[in-house]
Structure 1
Amino acid sequence: MKKALYLLVAIVLTSCTNTDPNEQLQNLTGYWTIEKVEVENDSVIEYSLSQYIDYIEIKDSVGFRKKLQPKIDGGYIEASNDSEKITAKIEDDVLNLYYSTAFDEWQ
């Protein structure tokens, strides 16, 4: 399930109308919600409204992703102390994100 979530982020990045990976990288930092995940074999998993959002921050091609929970006043609180390290690389004119934690690594 966790890997499917990251697959969606990659799909969102590659399905943007602007395909310049440098511009995609500049626009990556921010708050993201997952609406659906497209996996192999034309399978789509749709997500209903979630109580969490993803915050991604990238500087000089290195950053992190954290789960946040919206507050009623418009702010956010951390859903946990966990975060995933992200390394962004432009390879063959495509923006790829490499995630790592103490337990796993994935692209």
Structure 2
Amino acid sequence: MKNAFRILLLSLFFVGCQQKIQPTDIAKINGYWEIEKVVFDKGEDKDYKMNESYDYFEIANNKGIRKKVMPQLNGTFLVNDAFENVVVRFDKEKVFLEYKTNYAKWSEELIVLSDKELVLKNAEKKEYHYKKTGPINLTGDGEKTK
């Protein structure tokens, strides 16, 4: 009985420590995010050592866009005209990113959001773990990247 009580107490502690995302936190999502790993619903991970593209978010007043960008070695990004409209939806204790294109609609739950970390969970229960990133500049010329 003692062990069951300890397990219950520990479970409540971890649930209570889960980050609650506030409307003021949403501005942290703006910028470039590089995927680090995907955690599947059965617990397996797929790590990403290097990425050819980043996700770029630009959200204001709970509306904005997400687009794929490809970093270049000189600190610039290759972009195209494709993007997804994004709406942030608060539902009780949860926060969702609602995406829409001309071809599809879908939603992801915002699990973690900080200055350096982003975790999104899709309908298939896959968790996408991102780290905040920026331009790459390997030219060594000392110029600031854009």
Regarding TM over 0.5, the answer is yes
Letter paired with 1:32: W
Amino acid aligned to 2:35 = I
Range with bigger deviation, 22-31 or 39-48: 39-48
Q: Distance in 1 between matches of 2:74 and 2:32?
A: 16
Paired residue type of 1:68? V
Size of the alignment, in residue pairs? Answer: 90
Q: C-alpha displacement at 1:77, in angstroms?
A: 2.1
Give 1:84 shift: 0.7
8 Å CA contact 1:18, 1:24 repeated in 2: no
Percent of aligned pairs with the same amino acid: 26
**How far, CA to CA, are the matches of 2:40 and 2:99 in structure 1?**
18
TM-score normalised by L of structure 2:
0.55
Question: Does the residue aligned with 2:68 lie in a helix, a strand or coil?
Answer: strand
Q: Which residue of 2 aligns with 1:46?
A: 47
Q: Which residue of 2 aligns with 1:14?
A: none
Structure 1 residues 44 and 88 mapped into 2: Cα distance closer, same or farther (>3 Å)?
same
Query: Which residue in the other structure is 2:93 paired with?
Result: 93
Is the contact between residue 21 and residue 93 of structure 1 (CA under 8 Å) also seen in structure 2? no
- The 3-state SS of whatever aligns with 2:25 is helix
Q: Give 5+ residue unaligned stretches, structure 1.
A: 1-16
Structure 2 residues without counterparts, runs of 5 or longer: 1-17, 108-146
Shift of 1:40: 1.5
Tell me the alpha carbon deviations over residues 4-26 of structure 1, each in whole angstroms, 9 at most, x when there is no partner: xxxxxxxxxxxxx8533324312
Q: Which gives a bigger RCO, structure 1 or 2 (Cα 8 Å, sep 6+)?
A: 2
Alpha carbons of 1:74 and 1:101: their partners in 2 closer, same or farther (altered >3 Å)? same
Deviations 1:17-51 (A, max 9, x none): 85333243121111000111123222322223011
Query: Equivalent residues in 2 for 1:1-107 (5 A)?
Result: 18-78=19-79, 80-107=80-107
